[in-house]
């Protein structure tokens, strides 16, 4: 809870009624119009219940978001006794809203869902931030912060420092903690338990009686309660892990990874938030390199899949490990690579104009380098939906203004606020890049990227000057996207689509008011099938196929109450990924790092295991020195497991499936209050 929140101040911004009227009567279009996939995603995920009790339509969501952005800025300006120009704000707000309505730019999914709500005004800005990182040096403090950020919906990276910490067994006296039925209560229980081992304090025992039972709704942030079982399981695991470390039977590296992964597992199973993690360690540390080697560490199968693992290259000698890392990538797609030297030195590659960066880690999707306790918010521009260079630059301006404003809004964490106030880091992203390149070619795109970057810098500098804060240390990125790109109908981030035509399967609660509308329109719907263990499928991020599996004998509440809806989609003008070589993907990554992204680029380079494996070491040696982060995965057979998120089909089958669908009638929809967006909205990073 914020000490001084917007609700208490009474400061709110509202677009003039005539502009709201105009917005509600303007034309707009979602992506994938043949099968209505974009609008289905919107009504399932982002449409909320208004104060009047009516269901939001897209213009209503736009109005809520824009009013929310300008409320934050007005609150900041007036509480700091700075000049506020209402007329200029109204003009700017309307222009932003029009371009958002047309989906030339958008906030991230979490911004669509929570911006402009009272929850945000009371609880602070953490729910608006996509990316977070913590270097684990103080177990009780840092692991508790990681858990808190995960439960707020952030994707969290964690780093394993080389210097280990001490731990001892607690003494025999007992301290009882009665856990409140809140996010803060769950986090505090973990902090107290870890602290008892750090300092040899009293043994902590817990009373779980206040935690609401399984299946009850979680008010405020949404979801259904799991009951205390996941937290009890986490406490038991922490006790075992800390006892093993205190007695010298496990290493510092395995302890940190095990604790953070177990916390992530608790968050997923508890259905408190969907979450994702990335673990950073030294390429010279054998324990780190083998964290996903379940033949060596079989006990880690239960929670090891909770994080992607990336090698942090901090010295020139670390780059000598690229050949060894290439062998492991060919085998199972891990680890990824984080080039700490480039992060420290450059904004865009070779550009030292904006000073060094003290970031030491990165978020799970790999697009935002971060300091410990730092968070970053994102926004997104869709160049192929912009009809001209002018429209592109206007959309870039809107996205920059959005993210620059969000960075003004404090979180509930003083440590986080201190870093954000110093850096004001934001991430203005682009999506549909593959389609953009294949349609217009690299020469035109390179010029637009240069012009766009300078526009971001110009707008951010002026917006922050007006707010009395420094310009952001870093401002641009390419995120993987996901549901947001699905709203607009473009390929995600810089990635090429897997198929030209596909069946897209999405999960929905079986009691969702959206389902009867889809059923009446002829969409195929079936119950969720049994889940498999992630380790059975093999390979980096392969657990994405089984997103709701969560440990031996445990599944999330959502997996027990969901159905699957099949939607035929055409994936645009970009080539399918199978036609794009790994070398070409690396070339695009390097171009984006050079011309656009002064943070990083979320990129998984897919390679042909038979034709390109022998070149992986050469690719890494050629491109890792000029980028900030990258991961690689072998193309895999599509397989035949049940209910794949994407299943390739022919154009003929696509047309046949589309022809069977009827128009969707949303007029009767009511009672849907959206669903919290994933931290990065991307299938690449989506863990649960």
pLDDT tens digits for range 249-274: 999 999 999 999 999 999 887 554 45
Tokens of residue 675, six digits: 């669903």
Average pLDDT value over all residues in the chain: 89
Residues of the chain with CATH 3.30.1620.10: 132-313
Euclidean distance between CA atoms 500 and 211, whole angstroms: 47
Cα 259 to chain center, whole Å?
21
Going by their DSSP bridges, the two strands 105-106 and 171-178 should be labelled as: unpaired
Q: Where in the chain is the domain with CATH 3.90.1390.10?
A: 490-659
Mean pLDDT of 513-520: 94
Helix %, strand %, coil % of the chain (to 5): 45, 15, 40
Which residues on adjacent β-strands are paired with residue 566? 505, 524
Residue ranges of alpha helices (H) inside 53-101 are 58-79, 86-101
Q: H-helix or E-strand containing 570?
A: strand 562-570
Delimiting residues of CATH 3.20.70.20 domain(s) in the chain: 6-128+373-485
> Rounded to an integer, what distance in angstroms lies between the CA atom of residue 132 and that of residue 99?
29
Summarised one tens digit per residue, pLDDT across range 599-619 is 999 999 999 999 999 999 999
pLDDT in tens, 346-390: 999 999 999 999 999 999 999 999 999 999 999 999 999 999 999
Q: With contact defined as beta carbons under 8 Å apart, do 265 and 303 qualify?
A: yes
**Buried b / exposed e along 436-446 (16+ C-beta atoms within 10 A):** bbbeeeeeebe
- Comparing 118-127, 238-247, 510-519, 679-688, the range with the smallest average pLDDT is 679-688
490-659 fold = 3.90.1390
Decide if 187 contacts 148 (C-beta within 8 A).
Answer: yes
- 61-80 mean pLDDT: 97
Residue 570 CB burial class (10 angstroms; 0-12, 13-18, ≥19): buried
Q: Which long-range contacts (CB under 8 A, 24 or more apart) does 439-446 make?
A: 439/384, 439/573, 442/591, 445/383, 446/591, 446/595
CATH of 6-128+373-485, one of 3.40.50.2300, 3.20.70.20, 3.40.109.10, 3.40.190.10: 3.20.70.20
CA distance 597 to 368: 10
pLDDT of residue 305: 87
108-122, 312-326, 444-458, 534-548: least confident range = 534-548
**H-helix segments, 281-388:** 286-289, 322-332, 340-345
User: Could you read off the pLDDT of 486-505 as tens digits, one per residue?
Assistant: 999 999 999 999 899 999 99
Interval 156-181 mean pLDDT: 95
pLDDT digits (tens, 9 = 90+) for 448-473: 999 999 999 999 999 999 999 999 99
507 pLDDT band, cuts 50/70/90, is confident
Q: What is the pLDDT of residue 538?
A: 35
**CB contact set of 352 (below 8 Å; sequence gap of 6+):** 345, 346
Q: Closest Cα partner for 283 from 360, 359, 344, 336?
A: 336
**What pLDDT shows up at residue 412?**
94
pLDDT in tens, 638-655: 555 678 888 999 999 999
Q: What is the pLDDT of residue 483?
A: 87
Are 156 and 363 a contacting pair, CB within 8 Å? Answer: yes
Query: What CATH number labels 132-313?
Result: 3.30.1620.10
DSSP state for residue 492 in the 8-state scheme: S
Per-residue pLDDT, 44: 92
Lowest mean pLDDT among 99-108, 390-399, 552-561: 552-561
Rounded distance, CA 310 to CA 287, Å?
Answer: 13
Model confidence over 217-237: pLDDT tens digits?
665 555 567 789 999 999 999
Given a cut of 80, is residue 546 above it in pLDDT? no
pLDDT at 217: 64
Among 73-77, 304-308, 428-432, 501-505, the range scoring the smallest mean pLDDT is 304-308
116 sits in the region (left: phi over 0; alpha: psi -120 to 50; else beta) called left
Indicate which residues carry an active-site annotation: 365, 367
| Mean pLDDT of all residues in 412-422 | 97
Task: Examine the pLDDT at 551 and tell me if it is beyond 80.
Answer: no
Report the alpha-carbon angle 256-333-379, nearest 5: 75
> 9: pLDDT confidence band, cut at 50, 70 and 90?
confident
Residue of 658, 631, 259, 313 lying closest to 480 (CA atoms): 631
With bands split at pLDDT 50, 70 and 90, how would you rate the model's confidence at 214? confident
Q: How far apart are CA 83 and CA 487, in angstroms?
A: 37
98-141 pLDDT per residue, tens: 999 999 999 999 999 999 999 888 888 999 999 999 999 999 99
- pLDDT at position 680, please? 41
Average pLDDT over residues 296-320: 93
Q: 378, 403 in Cβ contact below 8 A?
A: yes
0.75 exceeded by the pTM? yes
* Burial environment of residue 527 by CB neighbours within 10 A (0 to 12, 13 to 18, 19 or more): exposed
């Amino acid at each position: 809870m914020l000490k001084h929140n917007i609700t208490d101040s009474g400061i709110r911004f509202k677009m003039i009624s005539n502009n709201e009227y105009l917005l509600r009567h303007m034309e707009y279009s979602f992506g994938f119009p043949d099968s209505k996939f974009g609008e289905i995603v919107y009504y399932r995920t982002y449409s909320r219940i208004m104060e009047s009790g009516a269901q939001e339509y897209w213009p209503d969501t736009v109005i809520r978001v824009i009013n929310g952005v300008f409320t934050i800025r007005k609150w900041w300006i007036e509480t700091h006794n700075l000049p506020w120009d209402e007329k200029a704000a109204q003009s700017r707000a309307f222009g932003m809203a029009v371009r958002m309505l047309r989906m030339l730019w958008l906030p991230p999914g979490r911004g669509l869902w929570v911006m402009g709500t009272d929850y945000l005004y009371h609880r602070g800005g953490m729910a608006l931030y996509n990316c977070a990182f913590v270097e684990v040096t103080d177990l009780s403090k840092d692991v508790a912060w990681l858990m808190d950020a995960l439960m707020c919906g952030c994707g969290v990276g964690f780093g394993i420092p080389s210097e280990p910490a001490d731990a001892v067994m607690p003494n025999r006296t007992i301290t009882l903690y009665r856990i409140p039925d809140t996010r803060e209560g769950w986090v505090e229980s973990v902090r107290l338990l870890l602290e008892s081992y750090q300092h040899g304090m009293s043994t902590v025992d817990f009373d779980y009686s206040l935690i609401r039972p399984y299946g009850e709704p979680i008010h405020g942030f949404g979801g259904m309660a799991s009951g205390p079982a996941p937290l009890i399981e986490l406490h038991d695991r922490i006790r075992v892990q800390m006892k093993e470390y205190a007695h010298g039977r496990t290493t510092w590296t395995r302890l940190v990874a095990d604790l953070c992964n177990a916390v992530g597992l608790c968050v997923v199973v508890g259905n408190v938030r969907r979450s994702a993690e990335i673990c950073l360690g030294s390429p010279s540390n054998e324990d780190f390199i083998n964290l996903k080697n379940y033949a060596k560490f079989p006990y880690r199968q239960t929670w090891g899949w909770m994080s992607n693992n990336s090698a942090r290259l901090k010295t020139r000698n670390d780059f000598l490990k690229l050949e060894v890392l290439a062998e492991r990538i060919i085998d199972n797609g891990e680890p990824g690579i984080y080039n700490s030297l480039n992060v420290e030195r450059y904004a865009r590659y070779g550009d030292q104009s904006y000073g060094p960066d003290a970031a030491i880690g990165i978020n799970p999707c790999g697009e935002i380098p971060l300091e410990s306790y730092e968070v970053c918010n994102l926004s997104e521009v869709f160049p192929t939906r912009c009809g001209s260079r002018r429209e592109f630059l206007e959309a870039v301006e809107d996205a920059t203004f959005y993210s620059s404003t969000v960075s003004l809004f404090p979180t509930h964490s003083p440590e986080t606020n201190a870093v954000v106030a110093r850096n004001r880091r934001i991430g203005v992203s682009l999506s549909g890049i593959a389609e953009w390149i294949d349609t217009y070619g690299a020469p035109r795109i390179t010029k637009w990227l240069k012009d766009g970057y300078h526009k971001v810098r110009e707008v951010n500098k002026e917006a922050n000057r007006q707010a009395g804060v420094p310009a952001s240390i870093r401002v641009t990125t390419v995120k993987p996207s996901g549901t947001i790109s699905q709203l607009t109908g473009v390929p995600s981030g810089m990635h090429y689509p897997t198929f030209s035509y596909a069946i897209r399967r999405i999960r929905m609660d079986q009691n969702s008011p959206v389902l009867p509308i889809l059923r009446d329109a002829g969409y195929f719907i079936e119950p969720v099938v049994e889940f498999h263990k992630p380790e059975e499928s093999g390979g980096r991020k392969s657990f994405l196929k089984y997103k709701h599996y969560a440990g031996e004998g445990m599944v999330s509440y959502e997996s027990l109450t969901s159905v699957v809806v099949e939607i035929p989609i055409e994936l645009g003008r970009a080539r399918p990924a199978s036609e794009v070589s790994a070398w070409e993907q690396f070339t695009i990554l390097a171009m984006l790092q050079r011309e656009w992204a002064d943070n990083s680029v979320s990129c998984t380079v897919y390679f042909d295991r038979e034709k390109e494996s022998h070149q992986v070491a050469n690719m890494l040696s050629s491109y890792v020195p000029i980028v900030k982060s990258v991961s690689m995965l072998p193309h895999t057979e599509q397989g035949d497991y049940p209910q794949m998120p994407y299943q390739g089909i022919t154009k003929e089958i696509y047309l046949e499936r589309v022809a069977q669908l009827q128009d969707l009638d949303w007029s009767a929809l009511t009672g849907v209050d959206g669903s919290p967006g994933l931290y990065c909205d991307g299938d690449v990073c989506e863990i649960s």
